[in-house]
Structure 1
């Protein structure tokens, strides 16, 4: 595929960069806000460190149970986190989600943290890196709904940072 779609979302959070970064890099904090609103995330195994994998479970009243696998490529304190993200099965193997006919098997997630005065600007980029042209096309087609999905997670992060 010649033109790989890239989804980008940016938000400024009213908290210092170290605090916002820690909400992403500490698994105990991350599970409190990450995922779709209403979801309860549980870390099943692993940690957020370069070169490691983390397997999580998400339970949502409407969406049921899903699993994800994150392979951490880069964790640069207070500035950048990069990981490969996939849907997974109960054992941590990569799978296609049952609710999509087509979807990339793996997405590269890049999150950059920058000072914005006393606040923090977070820019997230999501790029499909494993899948067919059909999977990548579906990703591109779904980008408008990703604003709602990631926007909902960012709303939850804002609430978490205020509490």
Structure 2
């Protein structure tokens, strides 16, 4: 386990040309979230659960290349329209947490902490991604992947932009 003072944190911001309630609902409504989340070409299907404080959501992601991933999210805070916090892990088809399928050393759980702020012309979100209790090796792997995370989240945000505009 790493010391909280040295646990890495990834942060990204984006402003969307939509009202704060609309942007928040795109994250906090499972049907809406499934329509835009994930990399381009990925189809997300919510298998079970809901998005509310104390609830879990189990989802399947089907990639354009035929790959399949499952995730499990534990929702810690759903405070409409300002704040959303969930712990995300890779899972199997039954909703059991499993190791990351594409990195040898990756944190078992990532905390996603999103703040929504109404600004002129729309809503700015600040998303923080923080490994939960990573080993030193997992923390180093997380840091090494930050450039890729920027690209991944930017792609998801592009999809969210299109979804909100539609």
- What CA deviation, in whole Å up to 9, does each residue of 1:46-96 have, x standing for no partner? 000100100000000226000000000000001000000001111111111
Picking from 17, 25, 28, the partner of 1:25 is 28
Indicate whether 1:75 and 2:78 are aligned.
yes
Root mean square deviation of aligned Cα = 1.0
Q: Which consecutive unaligned segments of at least 5 residues does structure 1 have?
A: none
TM-score (norm 2): 0.95
Tell me the residue number matched to 1:8.
11
In structure 2, how many angstroms separate the alpha carbons of the residues matched to 1:39 and 1:81? 23
Choose from 92, 95, 105 the match for 2:95: 92
Q: Secondary structure at the residue paired with 1:86?
A: strand
Picking from 133, 137, 161, the partner of 1:134 is 137
Secondary structure of the structure 1 residue equivalent to 2:139: helix
Matched residue, 2:152? 149
Is 1:54 the equivalent of 2:61? Answer: no
List runs of 5+ in structure 2 lacking aligned partners: none
2:132 partner SS = strand
* C-alpha displacement of 1:97: 1.9
Moved over 6 A (4+): none
